Chains A and B, each alone.
Chain A
Amino acid sequence: MWIIAPLSCGLIFGAGLLISGMVQPTKVLGFLDIFGAWDPSLAVVMAAALAVAVPGFRLAGLRTGPLLARDYFWPTRTGIDAPLVIGAALFGIGWGLVGLCPGPALESLATLSPGVIVFVVAMAAGMALHSVWQKSRPAMRRDNPLASATDG
């Protein structure tokens, strides 16, 4: 019944997005709109999340492996390269356009909002497009297909 663990983590993550209000694009855009009626709530969300995550990951790192699986999949990439910067820049433009990032977008599928479905289908298409584009560059260094090679 190890599947209970990721299911519970998804529930806790979803509860966090709901309680903090970050599941609502208007709340996120209020933070990003520093030239308007700025709402610093998202900064508090990040600070509180990191106040738990920084010591939590340190403690997890003291163990050689997780409790219910064999290995930790810690990300292995370290350099700040062009794909990181360009990818993050493109993601930020999309995030700023409507105020949805992947977590709140998937969680909002629960409302069956047609706009959310359009966004999530387009997001999946964007990911598929990236995968096709990666494969079309055989001479370039490809991403390692292992999950540990991605950051998140």
Chain B
Amino acid sequence: MAQFTPLSAAIGGALIGLSAVLLMLLTGRIAGISGIFSGLLNLRSQDKGWRIAFIAGLILAPVIAGAIGYGMAPPKLPANWSVLAAAGLLVGFGTRLGGGCTSGHGICGIGRLSPRSIAATIVFMVTAVITVAITHHVLGG
């Protein structure tokens, strides 16, 4: 547990929950990032404004943090672009087939006590843990 950071995790988590509640209370929308983003890809959809605004805020957050001296380090990712592409495809297809991701199911869905979202969250946590166990400990990656 060398890297356990409970205080920053609790503060950050509370902000994520606050964002989800405010988005519903103010605009009536679910703060599921995969759902918000995929709605931008649908050319026929008429409700792109709030989606663009939310994602713009998401991307602006590290820019503003950087401007006040809390810059974000570029994420550490696998050098192999085929792994990144495969992971991206799985995340994109899987979140649409399953109707949500960590935010839509894990925060908003469980936040509404939806059995469907609780089931989805358990399933993606289990397959993610198995994937990490295989890549880190079986394949030694």
Residues of chain A whose beta carbon lies under 8 Å from any beta carbon of chain B? 2-27, 29-30, 32-42, 44-54, 56-57, 59-60, 63, 65-75, 77-80, 83-98, 100-111, 113, 115-116, 118-131, 145, 147, 150-152
With A and B bound together, what is the CA distance between A9 and B107 in angstroms?
14
Are B37 and A20 interface neighbours, CB within 8 A? Answer: no
Do most interface residues of chain B lie in helix, strand or loop, or is the interface mixed?
helix
| Known pairs A78-B115, A88-B98, A115-B81; A7 contacts B57 (CB<8 A) | yes
Are B132 and A56 interface neighbours, CB within 8 A? Answer: no
With A and B bound together, what is the CA distance between A89 and B59 in angstroms?
27
Count of interface residues, chain B, beta-carbon cutoff 8 Å:
119
Are A53 and B107 interface neighbours, CB within 8 A? Answer: yes
With A and B bound together, what is the CA distance between A100 and B102 in angstroms?
10
Are A41 and B3 interface neighbours, CB within 8 A? Answer: yes
With A and B bound together, what is the CA distance between A78 and B99 in angstroms?
11
17 extra A-B contacts, CB within 8 A, seeds A102-B91, A115-B75 = A3-B50, A29-B132, A33-B129, A41-B8, A47-B13, A56-B17, A57-B112, A80-B115, A87-B98, A87-B99, A89-B123, A94-B88, A103-B58, A108-B74, A111-B73, A151-B104, A152-B104
Nearest 4 CB-CB pairs, A to B?
A152-B104, A152-B32, A10-B57, A126-B92
Residues from chain B with a CB closer than 8 A to the CB of A32 are 125, 128-129, 131-132
